[in-house]
Amino acid sequence: MSLGLILYRLGVTLLEPFTPGILVSRARQGKEDPVRHDERLGVASVDRPAGPLVWIHAVSVGESLSVLPLIERLRARRPEATVLVTSGTATSAELLGKRLPAGAIHQYAPLDTPGSSSRFLEHWRPDLAIFVESEFWPNLILGAKRQGAKLVLLSARITAKTARGWSWAPGLARTVLGAFDRVLPQDRASADRLARYVAPGPLVNLKYVGAPLACDEAELARVRAQVGGRPVVVAASTHPQEEVFVADAFRRLPPTDPPALLILVPRHPERGGEVAEALKDLSPGRRSTGEPIGPGDRVHVADTLGEMGLWFRLADVAVMGGGFAPGIGGHNPLEPARLGAPVITGPHAFNFQDVYAEMLAGETGALLAHSEADLSRLIGELLADPARARRIGEAGRAFAASKSAALDDAWAQLEPLLP
């Protein structure tokens, strides 16, 4: 056993007696689900169904969305297997509660303490455990391995920061990564970083996979009637400070006839009140409070969950959040691209640098704004030239369709390991 693993286990063992109190405190801050926080201690809220079980762990919203096509394929081709999905955030839990197919169960991920991980694994006894992107929990991973589960690290994303952290405990990294039967990186940079500790398999990026986001057609018609003939700019999955940044760029647009409408969709819907307050001089309505989009509104805050398919269908231009503030890394541009919306990203979308490199080349679905002035200029150009906007959007749609083979690639690697 490596020194790094010994120290890790000692640290989480000493922390374990305090975890119930920590969870209660976090629940008061809105960071945990107070009704289900026992799941974080490894106490299951539902029985384990009989038969084989595939466990998929996806930490947050982006990862959870990326595994939905895989879950649907598992349920279609291996209906006798239960699919257990764990995630760590209330937003992802709410989303998965709405989107998981029959035969799939959601639980909050247990803390990686000895007691919590043991209770979780003893109850669920997974036959195959799939960890998505960058989730490395030694007690859960090694505990599942000891139980005899097959292990896959799927769509693995290893940042330079993560790699630097591993350099301080290479033995721990080798032990944890060596437990996986398949390690499938999502990009070449991650593969190179993983190769220092384990032999990675072929590249598989689940975020390339997916059908166009769904929406309620009746609601789409209702909101479209509220919008009227106005051009619509949707700023999707925005983070703190980005809403003001986008709104300031929007203010600088040349006048349009009829006036353009900005719809802001914060990544975390609970920030809706904060966003509306920051832009109170524009008197934005809020979706969560039931306010319709009025005929004179310039800005609307769409602070609800699971309606991105609705907003992208309305968008003449989609501004993707997460790329205008340093340190976030951007969000998936293929979601608006699948619905034909031309995308504008900021310069900090490093989590999707490979896909953006292709989409930015020859305006294959996306444009890059380095500054507020850039963003205002690009939005204005697309609104003034609908033919160009449609051309960019259709190029993005075709590009997104070309990436759908990633699910087949993932399935080819996973199928031999299925129970």
Q: Order of strands, edge to edge, in the sheet holding 366-368? A: 285-286, 299-301, 261-266, 232-238, 317-320, 343-345, 366-368
Q: Residue 321 pLDDT > 90, yes or no?
A: yes
Tokens of 56: 């998929």
Lowest mean pLDDT among 29-38, 183-192, 275-284, 355-364: 29-38
- pLDDT value for 32: 86
Element (H, E) at 194: helix 188-194
Quote the pLDDT of residue 127. Answer: 98
**Please, which pLDDT band fits residue 24 given cuts at 50, 70 and 90?**
confident
- Say what the pLDDT of residue 29 is: 85
Model confidence at 210, pLDDT cuts 50, 70, 90, reads confident
Whole-number percent of the chain with pLDDT over 90: 77
Contact (CB, 8 A) for 126 and 102:
no
pLDDT recorded at residue 28:
86
Least confidently predicted of 200-209, 297-306, 328-337, 343-352: 200-209
Residues identified as active-site: 63
How far is 318 from 339, CA to CA, in rounded Å? 10
How far is Cα 74 from Cα 77, in angstroms, rounded to an integer?
Answer: 5
**Tokens at residue 351, please?**
């989590």
Instruction: Provide the mean pLDDT of the chain.
Output: 93
Instruction: Give the H/E segment covering residue 401.
Output: helix 386-402
pLDDT number for residue 65: 84
pLDDT tier, 311 (very low <50, low <70, confident <90, very high otherwise): very high
User: What is the rounded average pLDDT of the residues 21-33?
Assistant: 86
What's the pLDDT band for 201 if we cut at 50, 70, 90?
A: very high
Give which of 329, 379, 388, 326 is closest to 354, Cα–Cα: 329
- Report, as an integer, the average pLDDT of 13-42: 89
pLDDT in tens, 260-282: 999 999 999 999 999 999 999 99
Kindly tell me if the per-residue pLDDT of 66 is higher than 90: no
What pLDDT sits at residue 64?
85
The H or E element that residue 156 is part of is strand 150-156
